[in-house]
Chain A
Amino acid sequence: MELDPDDVFRDEDEDPENEFFQEKEASKEFIVYLIDASPKMFSSTCPSEEKDKQESHFHIAVSCIAQSLKSHIINRSNDEIAICFFNTREKKNLQDLNGVYVFDVPERDCIDRPTARLIKEFDLIEESFDKDIGSQTGIVSDSRENSLYSALWVAQALLRKGSSKTADKRMFLFTNEDDPFGNMRISVKEDMTRTTLQRAKDAQDLGISIELLPLSHPDKQFNITLFYKDLIGLNSDELTEFMPSVGQKLEDMKDQLKKRVLAKRIAKRITFVICDGLSIELNGYALLRPAIPGSITWLDSTTNLPVKVERSYICTDTGAIMQDPIQRIQPYKNQNIMFTVEELSQVKRISTGHLRLLGFKPLSCLKDYHNLKPSTFLYPSDKEVIGSTRAFIALHRSMIQLERFAVAFYGGTTPPRLVALVAQDEIESDGGQVEPPGMNMIYLPYANDIRDIDELHSKPGVAAPRASEDQLKKASVLMRRLELKDFSVCQFANPALQRHYAILQAIALDENEVSETRDETLPDEEGMNRPAVVKAIENFKQSIYGDDPDEESDSGAKEKSRKRKAGNADDGKYDYIELAKTGKLKDLTVVELKTYLTANNLPLGGKKEVLITRILTHIGK
């Protein structure tokens, strides 16, 4: 905790060791964005979101990358990226090849982690492009210039950095030219095609993957079979699967890039034991994990250089410095019971790391409160065990059709957990896949983790008030009026995270103003103020509260509830003033102290002594 004293993103009672929420991603990624800057990229346009406005393909490509850079810096700041234009007038690359320009900013290597400055300058690239870089077709038949070949070479050279064993290396190629050597003499064309494909193959042999983001003309579809299918190594079967409609709109393109730029990382390889003698292979993917601002790095305030944090264990009896003490104790029955770290991990090891099928239940058995942490997505793989996909699809179909989920025991987490495997059918929309087909593994709580709160609020022998028919009707109208059509779960940006990165960017670039971030999570005031909505709310309110609108009347329930409060419903009701006078506040738990603080709108941070002092100051007033 000391290292990270007031993590703003942590809920008060969230456990400090929530490492399982953030899957550690060991390997990093190297990405080169290759952008075709030929005149054709500027002259071809697509209709934009706004009416009557056309956007050039170049603009689309550049805005996609700008957005992608921002998400790199937020989600995967360890990745190293390079931006490289080809078909340029100027050249800038280590190999000194014509028609290729590696875009960069000071204080940064050609391929490096993104910096605030890179993001800022790249945002403005279109303004300075013509002056500094310039567009010029670089594939010339006579001189045998081949800028595509050169670009691949430069990109490959950039991607030499880092070992291919620990890192993923990728190129993203943005172009609207589906037949780069189309207007050449046949012999030259063949030659150029051959050498370029060989160049691409060499790169792929080095473990670099080349991904194509083609931009289509409104009236002419990008024809991948002309040239690029060989370049990226697609065979005919897969052509149908290759994105059909990319590049029609900016938003689609952004969407595509967003989906493809993050390498599909298998969080876990899982063996799914269906029954004795039949195990299949699955891959687990972390598709949903809370994005959090990076951890705090302590800096020396005079030099702004990171300081080295050294942790030492000190024996309080002798003051001796200890090497990572391995003994742990639990006071129990007046003795200290010792455990070694090894013993403790043995306790937790109760099964293999496999996923073991136990049976099936109807979906209605999966309650809304059966949830602990983000789910893991499962998709089969025939890589190691042939036949896995077939068995998985069969179970998947049966489960969807019979509306059942599988219950399984998963030994791959600490502690091992009972999980629900819920089959998810593929959902597609115009923009592509919305939900991938597969199963979602939902981690179920144990009985130990579930609290019986309902019981706390029940009053034996006294019927709880229930809504009348009229009230239900009014509620129904209200709900219809306030219905969010086309609601999608992840439509809101995290306001605190957006703010956090806006602050960082402003400080990094020495700007005085922090760009305003919009809190999308606030209710839509305009919508709420529409007369029909206001009326529906008013009617509902009237049906519940009657004519006495403001003060909620405390009716008969009050006295009873007070009694209950004193009894069991509330454990925090102490006479704090009395306790403070007698100096007994320290006997209360932190939680109890916080009850007082909360009730009086005081800050909740700090150690126990701080809380007590705060209460004393408050009472003293």
Chain B
Amino acid sequence: MARNREGLVLVLDVGPAMHSVLPDVEKACSMLLQKKLIYNKYDEVGIVVFGTEETGNELAREIGGYENVTVLRNIRVVDEVVAEHVKQLPRGTVAGDFLDALIVGMDMLIKMYGNAQKGKKRLCLITNAACPTKDPFEGTKDDQVSTIAMKMAAEGIKMESIVMRSNLNGDAHERVIEENDHLLNLFSSNAIAKTVNVESPLSLLGSLKTRRVAPVTLFRGDLEINPTMKIKVWVYKKVAEERLPTLKMYSDKAPPTDKFAKHEVKIDYDYKVTAESTEVIAPEERIKGFRYGRQVIPISPDQIETLKFKTDKGMKLLGFTEASNILRHYYMKDVNIVVPDPSKEKSVLAVSAIAREMKQTNMVAIVRCVWRNGQGNAVVGVLTPNVSERDDTPDSFYFNVLPFAEDVREFPFPSFNKLPSSWKPDEQQQAVADNLVKMLDLAPSAKEEVLKPDLTPNPVLQRFYEYLELKSKSTDAALPPMDETFKRLIEQDPELISNNKSIMDSFRGSFEVKENPKLKKASKRLLRDKPSGSDDEDNRMITYEPNENKIDMVGDANPIQDFEAMISRRDKTDWTEKAITQMKNLIVKLVENCTDDDEGDKALECVLALRKGCVLEQEPKQFNEFLNHLFELCQERKLSHLLKHFTSKKITLIPKSEAADSDVVDENAGDFTVKQEPMLES
């Protein structure tokens, strides 16, 4: 087996007590194998089940015993078959002995790899550990387990046990369970082993690490207290988002007969002077530019190199501060872990001393870090203690990035105390809320913490791999519905709800909400800048309120008011357009029917209103064109008294200074009549 490959044996309990959760075990294991097929396709996998009617393993054949343990698959490179296999686990009939099964698994690993491949051999046990184990031929169970564990440690076999107990019935098993837990603990203290206890199917899916990532240090070097006192540390990522695999683009251009077609797509970038031109600029003729206000500043690579901020690798302590000074929501990124260099015992001690004292006194450390030489920036972050609960694990720190001054936007928000009392809960409502917060409890002391991030799998990944599997069988497979198990993540737990039904009901009853009736759908957008829970007046930003009585026509009676109301309506974008068109029509009608000065005045007032509206709405063209048109009309009809009024009332075109879109320069706005006349006379 080449390096960097893993040999894994799944040791699965399929006894009767496990039947109800086996579908979830199958899901978890199949996900694990699917990911191996994609990311670690040279990894090798074997499967052992126990609790089966029959017995089928090498140890049973060679030395006898080891009943009800069946090797479903010997260790082989992961392939489609095993991914299928694991989805149809046999349903066993007897209560199996997990110790026997572990020994069988361990034996397989040792026979396969011998002493090589330390740390790349992994045993994964999934059981409810509720069935009694057999007594060994000699010595106690404790001795036996310690021996096995030591053997594992010596062989470099890692073990993880997932103990799934959702609904244990009766106390008959209590003694057995206690003993089994004790035995599993013995593994943990004697081998690289850990035990995860889960109660819900969702945690079961989350407990199995399905993606194997080789841990790589981000940094190895000194944590500098000052230039004379340094602690050797290694820094790893503690949290890093697992994403969907990066899918390649596919080309279907190659003819179907072309067997050697790669179907790959290459992305090419062309740099052109303008969008239209075909002239392509060679890479060396390009220069980088950065936006600075409205300018783009070109910077040559040399300039960048000589001028840029320079850093030296290292972690420097800036000081300690009270933990309460660092609010939790200031953490900016995924989290790193800072562990002492395992070969430096003194550094382990130094980290231990600081971490423990930090925890004791509620302090944290502020550090400045540059992970690599020449890294473009330094980060300031906070070290918080991670005091180990296990004796064999050194203490360490978590590292979180803190924001720089530029990263913070401080907006003031109204104090809750200053809000009108009608918006604040009264005592009775507060009591109801207290009750809800207390009783809708996801971390009851007697039971497992529900939805613990460490045990909650990503539903999107789960769904993708499920879909991938379906598609591999039939290309036009439909997207499967959301897995039932994941409902617990997306919706409230029906059991929790029904247990607290009265609390939920009284909360619903105490806090009535209703849609704001004043608000029309389309106007919501305009209100986006309202700071939060304040009413209209509370805001210094006055936004357009949609007109209460909807005006949708410019009528003859009050045309100007109608027009103004319409043009300021914001519930639809086309109101402006409509208002302007209707106003124009009305003006033309007035002008055409104009017999005396009264009518003429009304028309002029309308023109003035239209002008004002067009300035407000920045629609200069609409008005300017119309005014020219109106002018022609007056000339045609020989309405010279109206024309006179245009001048006397100083009706002008809308110039650039009033509306940027206008193509009329300021000087020409006033004398448009003069300009128009010769044209009309010709």
Contact = CB atoms under 8 A, between A and B. Distances in A.
Nearest to B318: A523
A489 B330 contact: yes
Given A309-B270, A315-B251, A557 B293 contact: no
Nearest to A374: B332
Interface in A207-239: 207, 209-211, 232-235, 237-238
A362 to B, nearest CB: 6
A82 B443 CA distance: 55
Contacts of B411: 259, 262, 264, 285, 287, 436
Given A330-B245, A460-B191, A507-B299, A75 B406 contact: yes
Contact of A286 (B330, B409, B467): B409
A426 B415 contact: yes
A448 B242 contact: yes
Given A318-B254, A360-B440, A307 B343 contact: no
B658 A385 contact: no
Contacts of A334: 80
B175 interface: no
Nearest to B503: A275
A537 B307 contact: no
A435 interface: yes
B434 A398 contact: yes
Interface string B258-299: 100111111111111111000001001111111111111111
Given A290-B332, A307-B286, A508 B292 contact: yes
A186 interface: no
Nearest to A417: B458
Nearest to B440: A359
B407 A308 contact: no
Nearest to B457: A447
A300 B497 contact: no
B343 A317 contact: no
Given A436-B411, A450-B239, A207 B543 contact: yes
Interface stretch (A108-116, A190-198, A613-621): A108-116
A299 B288 contact: yes
B15 interface: no
B404 A497 contact: yes
B574 interface: no
Nearest to B443: A361
A467 B354 CA distance: 9
A199 interface: no
Nearest to B313: A601
B254 A567 contact: no
Contacts of B261: 317
Interface stretch (A33-41, A57-65, A476-484): A476-484
A13 B216 CA distance: 11
A72 B328 CA distance: 28
A119 to B, nearest CB: 8
A436 B325 CA distance: 15
Interface stretch (B18-26, B62-70, B363-371): B363-371
Contacts of B549: none
A277 B289 contact: no
B377 A495 contact: yes
B319 A209 contact: no
A472 B512 CA distance: 55
Contacts of A115: 292-295
Contacts of A327: 249-250, 252
Interface stretch (A84-92, A128-136, A177-185, A498-506): A498-506
A461 B392 CA distance: 6
Contacts of B299: 503-504, 507
Contacts of A454: 337, 339, 386, 388, 390, 393, 396
Interface in B459-507: 459-461, 463-464, 467-468, 471-472, 475, 479, 482, 486, 489-493, 496-497, 504, 507
A451 interface: yes
Contacts of A269: 528
Given A444-B453, A465-B349, A475-B357, A393 B424 contact: yes
A7 B309 CA distance: 13
Contacts of B467: 343, 347
A415 interface: yes
A42 interface: no
A187 interface: no
Interface string B323-354: 00111111111110101001111111110111
A147 interface: no
A112 to B, nearest CB: 6
B446 to A, nearest CB: 14
Interface in A415-471: 415-416, 418, 422, 424, 426, 432-433, 435-438, 440, 442, 444-467, 471
Given A297-B296, A457-B393, A568-B156, A494 B407 contact: yes
A500 B438 CA distance: 50
A287 B532 CA distance: 14
B130 to A, nearest CB: 24
A525 to B, nearest CB: 9
B425 A394 contact: yes
Given A301-B286, A373-B334, 20 more contacts: A262-B411, A266-B529, A286-B409, A300-B287, A308-B273, A312-B269, A360-B440, A369-B337, A370-B453, A379-B533, A452-B209, A458-B393, A464-B394, A472-B353, A497-B377, A497-B406, A500-B290, A504-B297, A521-B318, A601-B373
Q: What 5 A-B pairs come out closest when comparing CB atoms?
A: A568-B119, A8-B376, A467-B353, A440-B329, A113-B294
14 contacts: A8-B308, A114-B294, A160-B659, A275-B507, A294-B292, A299-B296, A329-B248, A394-B429, A397-B425, A406-B437, A409-B489, A482-B317, A500-B309, A544-B350
